[in-house]
């Protein structure tokens, strides 16, 4: 019987996190990945280097606004409300929900009635797909479209999306591209669709320098709070370059604020007192002992990303597709077993690693001709590649059996070289 090589001594680094939730109003959906926001953005780009985003430096006009209402008015028409419908599947693979078998009982006992236009499952029951709401910021327009930046987690797993530019009329939005790692996505709305629906009022946001913000500076969070339409909440910059985690996500160099970031505020604007967008609201810390801890992605951390998405539909985020841990073994009694490397804990479905043939328990000892002794080394080597590049992974595969008398027994040690094509981390929805 083959089993994991758990009898070898391993070093496992575990990242623990507080309870942080997205500011997206939905029923049980979310996503995220580790990302260094400061490394991505760095200093504010020169205005002439940006094709799609409008910086305050380019307008030639900048002054503190007289009142909080003036700050809100400066961004109100550039912040949009987003309503989404999530894709759901039944256990049989058709559209629906795992709750479908209970629908007749609930209808009979509680008088529930599922709408006729809901998605039918394989047995003919009608399933209402889950709905969600978020926010977005208009950052560019051309002759045909208006372009909106939001959080990737707002649209992840979404089947359809509608946007209200004026907080009244909903128009269909289309997914341009996104980057799950940085939690940034770009949508577009056709001007023809907006005009046909009667939408006339909207504006393009002006973006400011998030690095110039100091702790104690006042800010305003504007967004579609609780899915009820645009609203504003006031606060300050509580901290800068904060790290916060959501599930497997680890965001570095985020802005912390005590401005209320409620459900539905994800993708909305964090605004300075000049009326400039200096961040995208992303999440809040939720705990019985915590109040007023919200997080925003700083503008300097996502401008380059937005530009790349508009140009190419994606950000080049090379992705091997494994979860791994550092491997340490003293080598005593097993000379063919590597002393260091990366043990594959799991292989992500559809990834380059799966297509190469990597398996759980494999020990990665080399990547593209360079030795691998730690996860950090492997990650740095992967970063040097691009999606579409050919890659070569050197592994050691251990075959282990379980014996009643001797316990775990090492049967064989095989050195293998696997080849494949690196993929992009974010695949994205289609709407």
State the Cα–Cα distance between residues 193 and 273, nearest whole angstrom. 33
pLDDT band for position 54 (cuts 50, 70, 90): confident
pLDDT band for position 6 (cuts 50, 70, 90): very low
Cβ proximity of 223 and 230 under 8 Å: yes
Predicted structure pTM score: 0.69
- Measure the CA angle with vertex 61, ends 55 and 67; round to 5°: 100
Give the residue, 254 or 287, on which the prediction is more confident.
Answer: 254
Enzyme catalytic residues: 153, 183, 266
**Domains located in the chain, CATH noted:** 20-84+134-312 (2.40.10.120), 88-128 (no CATH), 318-424 (2.30.42.10)
In this predicted structure, the answer to whether residue 378 has a pLDDT above a threshold of 50 is yes
In this predicted structure, the answer to whether residue 399 has a pLDDT above a threshold of 60 is yes
pLDDT in tens, 10-51: 222 222 233 444 444 332 222 233 444 444 444 444 555 667
Q: Which of 93-97, 158-162, 352-356, 402-406 has the lowest mean pLDDT?
A: 93-97
pLDDT value at position 272?
95
Burial (CB count <10 Å: 0-12, 13-18, 19+), residue 333 = exposed
Neighbours of 430 (CB within 10 A): 9
In this predicted structure, the answer to whether residue 356 has a pLDDT above a threshold of 90 is yes
């Amino acid at each position: 019987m083959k089993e994991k090589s758990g009898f070898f001594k391993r070093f496992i680094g575990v990242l623990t996190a507080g309870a942080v939730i997205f500011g997206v109003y939905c029923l049980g959906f979310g996503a995220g990945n580790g990302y260094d926001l400061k490394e991505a953005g760095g200093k504010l780009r020169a205005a002439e280097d940006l094709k799609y985003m409008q910086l305050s430096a380019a307008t030639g006009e900048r002054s503190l606004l007289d009142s909080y209402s003036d700050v809100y008015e400066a961004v109100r028409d550039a912040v949009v409300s987003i309503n989404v419908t999530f894709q759901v599947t039944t256990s049989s693979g058709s559209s629906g929900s795992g709750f479908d078998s209970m629908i007749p009982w609930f209808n009979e006992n509680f008088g529930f009635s599922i709408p006729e236009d809901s998605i039918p499952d394989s047995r003919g029951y009608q399933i209402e797909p889950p709905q969600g709401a978020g926010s977005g910021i208009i950052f560019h327009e051309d002759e045909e479209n208006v372009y909106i930046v939001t959080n990737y987690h707002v649209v992840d797993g979404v089947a359809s999306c509608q946007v209200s530019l004026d907080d009244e009329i909903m128009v269909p939005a289309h997914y341009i591209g996104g980057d799950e790692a940085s939690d940034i996505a770009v949508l577009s709305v056709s001007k023809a669709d907006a005009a046909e629906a009667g939408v006339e009022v909207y504006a393009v946001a002006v973006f400011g320098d998030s690095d110039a913000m100091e702790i104690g500076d006042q800010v305003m969070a504007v967004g579609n709070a609780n899915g009820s339409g645009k609203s504003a909440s006031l606060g300050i910059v509580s901290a800068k370059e904060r790290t916060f985690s959501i599930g497997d996500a680890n965001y570095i160099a985020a802005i912390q604020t005590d401005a209320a970031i409620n459900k539905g505020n994800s993708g909305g604007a964090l605004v300075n007192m000049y009326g400039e967008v200096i961040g995208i609201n992303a999440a809040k810390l939720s705990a019985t002992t915590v109040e007023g801890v919200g997080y925003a992605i700083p503008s300097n951390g996502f401008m380059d990303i937005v530009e790349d998405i508009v140009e190419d539909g994606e950000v080049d985020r090379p992705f091997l597709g494994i979860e791994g841990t550092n491997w340490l073994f003293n080598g005593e009694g097993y000379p063919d077993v590597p002393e260091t490397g990366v043990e594959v804990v799991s292989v992500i479905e559809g990834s380059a690693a799966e297509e190469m043939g990597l398996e759980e328990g494999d020990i990665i000892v080399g990547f593209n001709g360079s030795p691998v002794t730690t996860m950090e080394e492997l990650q740095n080597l992967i970063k040097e590649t691009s999606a579409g590049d050919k890659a070569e992974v050197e592994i050691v595969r251990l075959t282990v059996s379980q014996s009643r008398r001797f316990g775990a027994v090492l049967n064989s040690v095989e050195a293998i070289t696997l080849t494949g094509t690196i993929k992009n981390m974010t695949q994205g929805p289609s709407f």
